[in-house]
Amino acid sequence: RFGRLRAVYRLSRRRANRLLTCHLLAANCVICGVSSCLGDIISQRLESTNNDRRTHSWSRTATISLCGLMLGPLSHYWYLYLDRRFVGRTGRSLAYKLLFDTIFFSPLYITLYVLALGLLRKSTLEEVRDDLIESGLTIYKYEATVWTAAQVFNFYFLPTRLRVTFDNLVSLGFDTLYSYRLNRSRDERKSAEVQQSSLVIDRSENK
């Protein structure tokens, strides 16, 4: 029995290594999409616990998953660029990778994520702007602290082909945060609009 399990494990490992070697771009895109999908599922479970919401919005999960899938190539080519631009595992190379990743890539990724999500949701420019201001800055603060520590391990110990995989293992928490923050901000704005409309109606009726 254990011999059969070991054989299955070895076969799965060989196929995974082949996929990450021969079809790295496709594998990374799928990994990004799956990570976003799981992040939204976890986010909705947390929301249902806090708000007693029992129904799961699979359309929202599909939108979040597609958004992650769309941005998969960006993460893929970014890590390829960093490893070609800053070769080696010296302290200087590691420092430059962390600096570029924190200052340039994180803000770019967050912005494109919000824009892609807004496009898929057919949001207005004002809604996208509000998402960037209300949620984007909060997400970036977490990425600039927690994510930087994780990237030290990523850049120093792992080969290029495993960077996006590790990225998404760690970023499952961030994908949950992305989904939670962006949807929470939208729900809060809608609630505020409803309250404002009710207030206007009450005032008009009192007159």
Closest CA to 148 of 189, 115, 100: 100
Tokens of 195: 């309250």
Say if CB 164 and CB 82 are below 8 A apart.
Answer: no
Confidence of residue 72 (pLDDT cuts 50, 70, 90): very high
- pLDDT average, residue stretch 68-92: 91
CA 109 – CA 81 distance, rounded (Å): 15
Q: Which residue has the higher pLDDT, 8 or 181?
A: 181
pTM: 0.76
CA 77 – CA 57 distance, rounded (Å): 32
Confidence of residue 3 (pLDDT cuts 50, 70, 90): low
Mean pLDDT rounded to a whole number for the chain: 81
Which residue do the tokens 């404002």 mark?
196
pLDDT at residue number 200: 47
Say if CB 147 and CB 174 are below 8 A apart.
Answer: yes
Q: What is the pLDDT of residues 132-149, one digit of tens each?
A: 888 888 888 888 888 888
Q: Based on the structure, what is the number of domains in the chain?
A: 1
With 60 as the cut, is the pLDDT of residue 204 above it?
no
With 50 as the cut, is the pLDDT of residue 10 above it?
yes
Say if CB 63 and CB 121 are below 8 A apart.
Answer: yes
CA 23 – CA 36 distance, rounded (Å): 20
With 70 as the cut, is the pLDDT of residue 185 above it?
no
Say how many C-beta atoms besides its own lie within 10 A of residue 79's C-beta. 23
Tokens of 60: 């929202």
CA 173 – CA 177 distance, rounded (Å): 6
With 70 as the cut, is the pLDDT of residue 189 above it?
no
- pLDDT average, residue stretch 74-79: 92
CA 96 – CA 87 distance, rounded (Å): 10
pLDDT at residue number 85: 93
SS3 88: coil
Range of the domain at 179: 2-206
- pLDDT average, residue stretch 94-119: 93
The dihedral formed by the CA atoms of 156, 159, 164 and 168, expressed in degrees to the nearest 10: -60
Q: What is the pLDDT of residues 55-64, one digit of tens each?
A: 889 999 999 9
CA 71 – CA 36 distance, rounded (Å): 10
With 60 as the cut, is the pLDDT of residue 202 above it?
no
